Structure 1
Amino acid sequence: MGQPRRSVCLAVRAQLAACVLATSLAWGQTSRLEFDLPAQPLEASLRAIAERDNLQIVYVSADVAGIAAPALKGQFTTVDAITKLTEGTRLSVSFDGKATVVVKPKETSREGALRDSAQSWYVDEVVVTGTNIKGVAPAGSPVIVIDKETIRRSGYSTTEQLLQSLPQNVRSGSEGATADGELSAGSLAGVNSTKGTGVNLRGLGSVATLTLINGRRIAASSSGTFTDISLIPLSAIERIEILSDGASAIYGADAVGGVVNFILKQDFEGAESQALYGFTTEDGLDEWQLTHTVGSQWGSGNALFVIDYKNQSELLAADRDVTSTVRHPTSIFPENKQIAFVFSGRQRLGDKLSAQADVQYSHSERFGHLTFSGGRLTAEQPNTIDRINAALGLTYELGRDWEVSLDGVVSREDIDLRFDARNVATGAPDASQSYVQDQRQDQWSSGIKVTGPLFTLPGGNVGLAVGASTRSEEYYRKVPLWAADEEAERTVKSMFAELHVPLVGHDNAMTGVRRLEISLAARYDDYSDFGDTTNPKIGISWSPIDSLELRSSYSTSFRAPSAGRELADSNKGIDPLMFIYSFTAPDGVGYVPVIQLFGSSPLVPEESKNWTVGLTFRPESVSGLEIGLTYFDIKYTDRIIAPPFDSGALLDPTLQAFVTEYASAAALQAALAQLVNGPVSYYDASGPSYAGGFFGPNPENSTRYTYESRWINAGKVDISGFDLTLDYGFEWRDNQFRFGFNASHLQEIMSSFAPGVPAVDLVDTTGNPLDWRIRTTAWWSRGKYDAALAVNYADSYVDTSGAIDAPIRSYVTVDANFRYELGDAAVANKNLFLSLSVINLLDEQPPYVAASGRNSHYDGANASPLGRMVTFGVSKRW
């Protein structure tokens, strides 16, 4: 949009307003266009419409700054589309009947009242992740949005692949929260018995990242250690919003490292089918995926239904060089057959009342193999996971832009696990090591929220949101072989308030202060088992010039132990199953048997203080360019962790707090019997021969050491770093281009495993986050052709897994995606697309590390053993 023409239009917009209504309404009845826009800043949506439809959209940047536009999909006139995008804001829309649309603050006039009466009968509420107030972005907080087009251009076929490419997310980490986590060096790798995948922002652990679907909590997985995002089909996702900031004041516990909000598709007209087939060019894995989406919109509502089926084969460790030393057969990735259903519906029930319903159901059957390092036992691991989330909401418009909403959510995850062990030598079943495990996690919640404008300042409307909620969580686990029968439950009652104050806006802008907004939020949570807590948050956004936004936020966060294994085991004490490993002797010569203790110490909630400061720059001289920079500092106390497994722990001064030496083996056995209040079972993992291990047939009779791998409250974790992002889109002749850059830099993660223990920096060490992770993307489109390229960079670091530290090279992979639209002359191939994507185009192998889980040789936190994967796709819009 050229500056001269914009100035002329702004000068005459008062005259335009007088004559535009009749023309725009008549034009709007005949010219309906197809729209497919992601949720993003309003200015970005306006630019996209202007560039595509060759329209002049006139607005003042300060008028639209800070306003979030919802996703928009379907057929609309341009004026109706822009009206939908600005619904709930202080902006009005007018059209000159030719090629100019004016977006400006609402005025009290007959023309404005008539225009409002012509708006669409049903419009979704616009709420951005990080705030409860509709129509505004959270002041001061950094929000990353992965929209539908970005998802498509990535070439990824699963949700976990997409999130693992995000530089702010650590792929695995200490809890092994990936499908190949069994081969990681994480101390909690064995906890991930379902082979699911979690999100681990900043490397603080998956429990420190709150995962939402459509803004609502869902039942956790794997004994509460993470939320399994692999159960969310990528085809059902409209966009992903990532708040890389503490948000306990908005959402309650768990939002320490940040929030990942999966917004599923809601508005869709017609039907669309998609089929994908992918395979690794190195032997081992292939997958099929079929998706069908059908939706309908009518004057007072809409409905959408998605069904997604995925069939992925098993990838064995023997199929990859870096895992070829793992005992065969052992799975890297299990076989996975998964079907998912998504339903979304909205309906007006009158002039002021509307209802919303969202239901998601996933059924996954996973099958893998595991052979222990001793080589005596191998096992088949079939498991079944069922997860259902159902939400029902009612919204009543109170008038004067106020509304009250009621919300009820039910979420359940049922897990059926089997461990069918066999003797390697004889092939006979081993009943003493075979077991079944039933696990269930339930969550119910209900809440009320009232939101609207309190009053108007010269800078705009002061928005308020207040509400209350109650949430119940239940956890159940039963393992007959171990005599484990665990149950835990809790109730959380909450109250919250949030205020958005636009101190300076368009009407009172001045030199040096074009915009100034403050967000204030506080939340009170009362736990039935861990007491109460109050967490505040303050955010500020300041634009000294129209093209520059400076922002900062401060918050505190709180996380109680989950109502899963951490809580259950704290009531039960130490698990009655003890593992015996060979550790390096305290004098460094030879080995001694050590009993590793699992379970939980008495726990207290985690707390953190989060501070961010950053900027967003959109230079007027370079249309389409946006640069973002965010510095973050998190001080985390009483973090709940399990100490790292380290066979050299008897020599490591930083781990001595977890080592106990007893006067004799008998004294140790007596202490354990008292702790578990009953008989103790032992599992000998001490050596290559399970007929006796390194230490004979009864190693428990010769050990005097225990090593705590129980859940504990760590002393502290201090983490700091910054994110740098760049997004630039432009047109040249008939070509469209878009470039992206996302870099995450961690300066330090100073971690102390116990009070009084010196803190160590975990950055750039095996199994932990790296100092630099970068993803660079480029996209090109011309007519029916569409191509994208991405380069993923993980910096070099130090291999600390062996006896001697060694360098690890950087890890660079390239992804490519190509799509072609067939001609639309014939109905048979109208809206028919063919696609080809190649993940890890150059087949880059993961860097070698000395030792990881199950004797593998790659670092699951920072690399994948999958290799090059090629996927062909076809999609048809009906």
Structure 2
Amino acid sequence: MSNRFNKAALMAGTIMAGAMIATPAMAQDAGATADAAADADDGFIVVTGSRIAKRNVDTAAPVAVVGAEEFELSGTVNVENVINTLPQVVPGTTSFSNNPGNGTATLNLRGLGSQRTLVLVNGRRWMSYDTAQIVDLNTIPSFLLDSVDVVTGGASAVYGSDALAGVVNFRLKNVDGIEMGGQYSITERGDAARYNVHGAIGTSFDDGRGSATVYAEYYNRDSLFQGDRGFSNFALGGETDGDQQYQFGSSTLPNGVLRYLGGANSNTNLPAGTEFGNAGTRGFGTGVVFDSTPGDFRRRAGDLYNYAPVNYLQLPQERYLMGGYADYEFSDGHEFYTEISFVNNRVAQELAATPVTGNFNIDLASQGGFLVASDLAQLTSIDAAETAQNLADGTTDDPGVVNFFVQRRTIEASRRNSLDERSAFRVLGGVRGAISDNLNYDAYYMFSRTRNSNIQAGNISRSAFQAGLDGSANPINIFGLNTLTPAMFSQIAIAAQNSDISSMQVASGAISGFLGNLGMGADDIGFAVGAEYRKVASQFIPDTALSSGDVIGFNAGLPTEGSYDVKEVFAELNIPILGSDSGIERLELTGAARYSDYSLAAVGGVWTYAGGIEFAPVRDVMFRAQYQRAVRAPNVGELFGGRAIGFPPATDPCNLGTGAALVATCVASGVPVGEVGAGNIQPNGQIPATFGGFDGLGEETSDSFTVGVVLQPQFIPGLTITADYFNISIDDSISVFGGGLNNALDLCFNQVQDINDPICSPFQGGIARAPGGAITTAVNPLILGANIANQEVSGVDVEVNYGTTLPFSLLTDTGEQEFNVSFLGTWTDKSNFTPVQSDATKVNVCAGQFGTTCGEPIPKYKWTSRFTFVDGPLTTSLRWRHLSGVRDDNDGTNFADFNGVERLNAYDLLDLTFSFEVNENVTFAVGVDNVFDTLPQTPTFDAAGNVTSTNNGTLLGDNQEQANTYPSTYNVLGRDFFASVNVKF
């Protein structure tokens, strides 16, 4: 009895390789190794994607495994840097995500969203960090990783909610003795330094009845600014204005810009869109109109503020991490186990000075002293015309006050700074053991809590800014460069802070065992049954300034608070039908089901289930297939998120569009007929929008199909080849209407062109326009939408692993060295998003695309491969990472044509590592990532400021995420060196 318990129960929650391994160096044939161990010890293992212990490590679901060697050889100490290179992963938030960004590192399988990827550590749920209940990979100790399993497809029947895209399981190793180490990395340019030191102590005690491991780590990462790299020093753009790329930026100038958007009687005033400002010798305060073409909002070189240089390209980070895990066999065949972890993580963000935008009342009496006579005369004329017309109309008027759309960068305040400090802890305690020779039990309770404190500097108070312009407070001078004195800035500045608190509780218990076999060499039938209770709770707590909406700089929002729980029962069955005695190698069937009862009325009780088959006619070949139904319950933010203001990049089709149908739709939404297409109604590339949660959300549902083959030809020892087709479709996907404001605008105004159509529902009163037609506020359509979208991804994963010996050596007496090669690649056939599932004709096709619709590039082909030579104490390893070329998503596949870079060319990076075992206790490694210093191309400009060199197709202008590229997908550091040392004794 104790032997089966020791090999099954004690190893429950660990992960092993399936029939394919993505481990790069010193990889063995996983199936052969595990089977040999099982045969020798009569052992059982639990594979990710199942709770059933079994002798073989093959599974019906594809499992890609990344070994500890990959983390060591890649020279990374942050989990995200390895995980994001996997072809199954589209990068989420990373260390290069400054705007947008929040200082976390997230995991996004198949590009379906981080909230649809379930992250486990040692087979159990890990701690989340915010109201979206997403795991921050910064909280996982990479130096303790034994391996990482990536399971494709829904796994809710086994693990519960959130596993729609798949499951990623991080396994931490037990330490025997003392391990210490450290690493230092720096770029060829001498910047962006990173270093860490870590240590762990592990031991067994009480004659081997117990074991314990404790660990600690300190990590520090320096900042790097966009101004430190030529490709990101200038914000580039212009394409969406119908122009080519040029030095771009923000129309919110440090000099100040006034735009009169027109009133109810705009025909008596200056044309809507007439603008003033101060740029050098032109603009308000000089007596010269800012733009020689009244009403022309087109951005042009020299007229804009270059915000790029002061934004972070690499976010600084400081992390303290400590914890431990232990187990103790308190009675024969029964043990107690526990896990404890604590992380303190500090990450800063830095943006350019606050852009103050919006409608403000200008009091001519108090502001006139800051203007030259001719400018004051223009404003006085506008005021007089308004007053006369309003009197004629019998409407009220405020003589001496004119309302303008104001844009002003408060560079006197330097920059906007935001510091996130997250403190997270997780505690777990459980018992497991043997009930009989064929039955084991495992029960545990887990509690985790994360608190984030966000402190902001550089914000402006909207009310104080208004008071300084309308005469109700000391006047402020916004007309000109550096005209805000320290006293004026102090008058309008405001400090702000907010916090997040997220917690999760899990109580789980399961019984697993064996029911005998069906004969003919088949293994025993395995089963697992159990119950689980989970409760999640989150809060977002803004201070008064943020919750009131008075803050300009960082986005303001209302508080969020909510929680829900779920009670579940589940069961699994593994039925080996035929074994080697039957004339075929193996035939197995698997099944799983889970019933979940949510406290959310819109979700209630839901079923998830799965079924699979493994068929090996001979030892060399195995076929496998699986179907899974999975669900995701909405998270706290989606359900209870308080209303907040955001500024998404979007293009109002009514600004430059033409055509009778478009004109009619725009007029119906509040645009004066003469302003449609005139280029006067969008003063900024970002449109204010409110967003928030909706407590009527139901669950998302996914169907996953995988079918594949595993080849291990005996005539080529050491070779394993796997190929698996996957298809994941999600119905009732929770999404902002249209997939975002820009897409929703395009769907309504460019495609449907009928304000009464349901697709235009967000703009039937959900959009506020100024009298001249400019959008002042758009309601984020999540409030109106709910479970409205569909998503689908499909493709083929291929893995190749081969290990052999080479007949030469420099450092061994045997005259041989080991050679290992691994290849892990994905062909993405589909990556589709249907914004409104009721209209399947409107599909965003994103495989092989990038841009404002599809976001992060989704290459058709992505692979990572490693070639490793082990010559005695010396390991030499070369990694090759490849992304195929991607096209702009506005090339006609989805929406209107795009005038900028149409294609990002294929992208390859080579990394080289040397590792040397000084002795059995000390290992030293050095390496270089991005050997050929591949970066987005540094642009050159002509005399007019236009970009004249983009021949490598990586300067995206305003069709990008940030830094003129996608910095989480494409390398932005350049050639990067690292050195590390690890000591064990």
Q: TM-score, normalised by structure 2?
A: 0.69
Of the candidates 141, 150, 158, which is equivalent to residue 61 of structure 2? 141
> Whose strand proportion is higher, 1 or 2?
1
Give the equivalent residue in structure 1 for 2:974.
867
Of the candidates 880, 884, 894, which is equivalent to residue 791 of structure 1? 880
Shift in alpha-carbon separation, 1:281–1:864, aligned structure 2, 3 A? same
Quick one: distance in 1 between partners of 2:495 and 2:827?
45
Of the candidates 178, 183, 199, which is equivalent to residue 94 of structure 2? 178
Report matched runs for 1:639-788 at 5 Å.
639-642=733-736, 643-645=738-740, 650-652=745-747, 703=775, 706=778, 708=780, 710=782, 712-733=786-807, 734-757=816-839, 758-766=842-850, 767-788=856-877
Quick one: distance in 2 between partners of 1:280 and 1:200?
27
Give yes or no for contact 2:631–2:702 (8 Å, CA) kept in 1: yes
Give the equivalent residue in structure 2 for 1:453.
514
Give the equivalent residue in structure 1 for 2:923.
833
Quick one: distance in 1 between partners of 2:21 and 2:847?
36
**What is the SS of the residue equivalent to 1:171?**
coil
1:561-591 per-position Cα deviation (integer Å, ceiling 9, x unaligned): 112x21112xx4x436788977352552315
Shift in alpha-carbon separation, 1:707–1:472, aligned structure 2, 3 A? closer
Quick one: distance in 2 between partners of 1:276 and 1:582?
46
Quick one: distance in 2 between partners of 1:864 and 1:141?
32
1:817 aligned onto 2:924: no
Quick one: distance in 2 between partners of 1:364 and 1:560?
28
What displacement does 1:709 show? Answer: 5.6
1:475 aligned onto 2:558: no
What displacement does 1:127 show? Answer: 1.8
Quick one: distance in 1 between partners of 2:354 and 2:650?
11
Structure 2 unaligned spans of 5+: 1-13, 236-306, 356-408, 461-480, 548-557, 658-676, 808-815, 851-855, 891-897, 937-953
What displacement does 1:472 show? Answer: 0.7
Quick one: distance in 2 between partners of 1:156 and 1:635?
34
1:344-402 per-position Cα deviation (integer Å, ceiling 9, x unaligned): 11111111211111112111111221126844363111110111121111013111131
1:161 aligned onto 2:81: yes
Shift in alpha-carbon separation, 1:264–1:431, aligned structure 2, 3 A? farther
What displacement does 1:431 show? Answer: 6.2
Shift in alpha-carbon separation, 1:351–1:651, aligned structure 2, 3 A? closer
What displacement does 1:180 show? Answer: 2.5
Quick one: distance in 2 between partners of 1:371 and 1:610?
44
Give the equivalent residue in structure 1 for 2:504.
443
Quick one: distance in 2 between partners of 1:853 and 1:301?
54
Quick one: distance in 2 between partners of 1:404 and 1:442?
27
Matched letter for residue 630 of structure 2: S
What displacement does 1:853 show? Answer: 5.7
1:302 aligned onto 2:409: no
Deviation larger for 608-617 or 327-336? 327-336
Give yes or no for contact 2:934–2:971 (8 Å, CA) kept in 1: no
Give yes or no for contact 1:130–1:138 (8 Å, CA) kept in 2: no
1:98-133 per-position Cα deviation (integer Å, ceiling 9, x unaligned): xxxxxxxx7xxxxxxxxxxxxxxxx9x832110001
What displacement does 1:151 show? Answer: 2.7
Shift in alpha-carbon separation, 1:622–1:736, aligned structure 2, 3 A? same
Quick one: distance in 1 between partners of 2:194 and 2:593?
46
Shift in alpha-carbon separation, 1:472–1:275, aligned structure 2, 3 A? same
Give the equivalent residue in structure 2 for 1:567.
639
Quick one: distance in 2 between partners of 1:325 and 1:199?
30
Quick one: distance in 1 between partners of 2:977 and 2:527?
49
Give yes or no for contact 1:250–1:522 (8 Å, CA) kept in 2: yes
Give yes or no for contact 1:182–1:853 (8 Å, CA) kept in 2: no
Quick one: distance in 2 between partners of 1:66 and 1:462?
22
Shift in alpha-carbon separation, 1:547–1:540, aligned structure 2, 3 A? same
1:246 aligned onto 2:339: no
Matched letter for residue 524 of structure 1: Y
Matched letter for residue 703 of structure 2: K
Quick one: distance in 1 between partners of 2:755 and 2:97?
28
Q: Which has the higher contact order (CA 8 A, sep 6+)?
A: 2
What displacement does 1:322 show? Answer: 3.0
What displacement does 1:861 show? Answer: 5.6
Matched letter for residue 520 of structure 1: G
Quick one: distance in 2 between partners of 1:752 and 1:861?
25
Matched letter for residue 528 of structure 1: S
Deviation larger for 846-855 or 554-563? 846-855
Shift in alpha-carbon separation, 1:433–1:535, aligned structure 2, 3 A? farther
Shift in alpha-carbon separation, 1:135–1:152, aligned structure 2, 3 A? farther
Quick one: distance in 1 between partners of 2:312 and 2:515?
58
Give the equivalent residue in structure 2 for 1:366.
347
Give the equivalent residue in structure 1 for 2:617.
544
Quick one: distance in 2 between partners of 1:762 and 1:628?
26
**What is the SS of the residue equivalent to 2:348?**
strand
Give yes or no for contact 1:373–1:855 (8 Å, CA) kept in 2: no
Quick one: distance in 1 between partners of 2:119 and 2:878?
28
Matched letter for residue 127 of structure 1: V
1:386-437 per-position Cα deviation (integer Å, ceiling 9, x unaligned): 1112111101311113111111111111111112115794574686664211
Matched letter for residue 212 of structure 2: A
Quick one: distance in 1 between partners of 2:321 and 2:612?
38
- The aligned length equals 729
**What is the SS of the residue equivalent to 1:628?**
strand
Of the candidates 308, 311, 331, which is equivalent to residue 350 of structure 1? 331
Matched letter for residue 829 of structure 2: Q
Matched letter for residue 453 of structure 2: D
Quick one: distance in 2 between partners of 1:658 and 1:272?
65
Shift in alpha-carbon separation, 1:138–1:638, aligned structure 2, 3 A? farther
Report matched runs for 1:569-584 at 5 Å.
569=641, 572=642, 574-575=643-644, 583-584=652-653
What displacement does 1:144 show? Answer: 0.9
**What is the SS of the residue equivalent to 2:713?**
coil
1:280 aligned onto 2:374: no
Report matched runs for 1:69-468 at 5 Å.
85-86=37-38, 91-92=39-40, 126-136=45-55, 137=57, 139-172=59-92, 177-183=93-99, 189=100, 192-193=101-102, 195-224=103-132, 226-266=134-174, 268-298=175-205, 299-326=208-235, 327=307, 328-371=309-352, 374=355, 375-376=409-410, 378-421=415-458, 425=482, 426=484, 428=489, 434-458=495-519, 459-468=522-531
What displacement does 1:157 show? Answer: 2.6
Structure 1 unaligned spans of 5+: 1-36, 53-60, 70-81, 94-105, 107-122, 184-188, 674-694, 825-829
Quick one: distance in 2 between partners of 1:418 and 1:586?
37
Give yes or no for contact 2:681–2:773 (8 Å, CA) kept in 1: no
Quick one: distance in 1 between partners of 2:772 and 2:498?
26
Quick one: distance in 1 between partners of 2:765 and 2:726?
48
**What is the SS of the residue equivalent to 1:391?**
strand
Q: Which has the larger radius of gyration?
A: 2
Give the equivalent residue in structure 2 for 1:499.
573
Shift in alpha-carbon separation, 1:42–1:244, aligned structure 2, 3 A? closer
Matched letter for residue 287 of structure 1: R
Give yes or no for contact 1:715–1:755 (8 Å, CA) kept in 2: yes
**What percent identity do the matched residue pairs reach?**
22
Give yes or no for contact 2:18–2:64 (8 Å, CA) kept in 1: no
Matched letter for residue 492 of structure 1: V
1:65-105 per-position Cα deviation (integer Å, ceiling 9, x unaligned): 69957xxxxxxxxxxxx7xx43xxxx455xxxxxxxxxxxx
**What is the SS of the residue equivalent to 1:223?**
coil
Give yes or no for contact 2:347–2:421 (8 Å, CA) kept in 1: yes
What displacement does 1:710 show? Answer: 3.3
